[in-house]
Structure 1
Amino acid sequence: MGRPRKFDEDEVVEAAARVFWGGGYDGTSTDDLCRATGLTRSSLYNSFTSKEELFVRALRRYAEERADRQAALLEDEARPGLERIRELLAMIVEDEMEGREEGRASGCFTVNTQTAPVRRHPAVAEVLDTDRRKRLGVLEGAIRAGQADGSITAGRAPAELAWYVNSLVGGARVAGQAGVGRDVLEGVMATGVRALEP
């Protein structure tokens, strides 16, 4: 009979997510993961079998937490559709500013991974594709609600506008990493909101 684990697996995945988020897959070593999680190499590999598996689990955890947080805003039926989108974009700006203030100007883990070579790993691609479909679906729902309540233009297809907002968010994440200030990011988001108005 094996010895019981003496660590919380969720805490290990959370710690690994922070390291991968900052350094990416290729920029994170096993030693980095051991330092962040407090595990030895043997414990790490006995529990997660590989760096790839731990990365996938960390990315999935991050994506699900962010998707849930965004869905809470975008599915709020008490608000007009456009207001939901405006709140989402304001939240993105706050995330970038808080990250910079806390010394972790790491942008978005999923956006960073989309452009990294590890994107081609089938399990990573599956996490990213699932996350993208979920986010686009929730965005599209908010846009349909906005078109129904008159706050969002009915002249464009909801799926097209969902991609537009998704691209706006991704661009803001990258701009935030590049050091763009709050005023510029807020201006970009305001322009994006105006483009959705009737």
Structure 2
Amino acid sequence: MARPREFDHAYVLDKAVEVFWSKGYEATSVQDLVDATGLHRGSLYGAFGSKQQLFIHVLDRYADVVVKKLLDILQANASAKTAIRQFFAAVVEHVINGGSLRGCLVTNSAVERALCDSDTAAKVGISLDRIEAGFYQALLQAQAAEELSAGKNLRAVARYLTSSLQGLLVIGKVKSERQALEDVVAVTLLVLD
């Protein structure tokens, strides 16, 4: 009879998120994951199957924690338009306070793995769809509150905001001056006027 798992699944995934987010998929070795999680190699493989399968779980965990935290900002204000502004302000603060070197695990994974791995592409797509849906819901709320004109194509605006977010995180990896980032956000948010 196999021994039951004796580790905190969420803790292991959180540690693996940190490694993959910092180093990327290709540069992360199984030994890096063993060192970060404290699991033996056999336990890691027994629990997740392979490095690639662990990575897919990591993308799910990232979406459940990091993406959700950002999306919660969009629902935390009575004014949806203000919530969108606060969302981008939080991203700028994240970049300024050291989050810029890692960028966004979703974006990084899209660039590094999506063309060669359909499972990664699917997970990245799900996260981007969640972000777009969060913007879309906030925009619907803003339009209902007459904060936005009725003639705006809200789906297109949500897609634009999602793309701008990803671009902001990529730029933040190499240029994290507050004014430059705030300039990008200011122009991005003109779409709300």
Letter in 2 for 1:57: H
Given that residues 64 and 131 in structure 1 are in contact (C-alpha distance below 8 angstroms), is that contact kept between their aligned partners in structure 2? no
Letter in 2 for 1:80: S
Identity %: 32
TM-score by length of 2: 0.92
Unaligned runs of 5+ in 2: none
TM-score by length of 1: 0.90
Query: Matches of 2:185 and 2:192 in 1, distance apart?
Result: 11
The answer for the alignment partner of 1:18 in structure 2 is: 18
The answer for the alignment partner of 1:58 in structure 2 is: 58
Q: CA deviation at 1:20?
A: 0.4
The answer for the alignment partner of 2:90 in structure 1 is: 91
1:110 equivalenced with 2:106 (yes/no): yes
Letter in 1 for 2:49: T
Letter in 1 for 2:188: G
Query: Matches of 1:86 and 1:107 in 2, distance apart?
Result: 20
Unaligned runs of 5+ in 1: none
Query: Matches of 1:41 and 1:66 in 2, distance apart?
Result: 27
The answer for the alignment partner of 1:135 in structure 2 is: 131
Given that residues 113 and 119 in structure 1 are in contact (C-alpha distance below 8 angstroms), is that contact kept between their aligned partners in structure 2? no
Q: CA deviation at 1:98?
A: 2.0
Given that residues 81 and 152 in structure 1 are in contact (C-alpha distance below 8 angstroms), is that contact kept between their aligned partners in structure 2? no
The CA RMSD measured in Å over matched residues stands at 1.7
Query: Matches of 1:38 and 1:16 in 2, distance apart?
Result: 10
Query: Matches of 1:84 and 1:94 in 2, distance apart?
Result: 15
The answer for the alignment partner of 2:159 in structure 1 is: 163
Query: Matches of 1:133 and 1:96 in 2, distance apart?
Result: 22
Q: CA deviation at 1:6?
A: 3.0
Aligned pair in 2 of structure 1 residues 99, 168: CA closer, same or farther (>3 Å)?
same
Indicate the larger mover: 67-76 or 31-40. 67-76
Q: Secondary structure at the match of 1:115?
A: helix
Query: Matches of 2:67 and 2:176 in 1, distance apart?
Result: 24
Measured against aligned partners, the alpha-carbon deviations of 1:83-130 in whole angstroms (never above 9, x if no partner) come to 111011001111112225xxx720110011111135542222221122
Query: Matches of 1:48 and 1:81 in 2, distance apart?
Result: 40
2:142 to 119, 128, 146: 146
Query: Matches of 2:115 and 2:106 in 1, distance apart?
Result: 10
Query: Matches of 1:51 and 1:118 in 2, distance apart?
Result: 16
Letter in 2 for 1:122: S
Shift >4 Å, 4+ stretches: none
Measured against aligned partners, the alpha-carbon deviations of 1:14-59 in whole angstroms (never above 9, x if no partner) come to 1011000111111111111111111221121111110011100011
The answer for the alignment partner of 1:125 in structure 2 is: 121
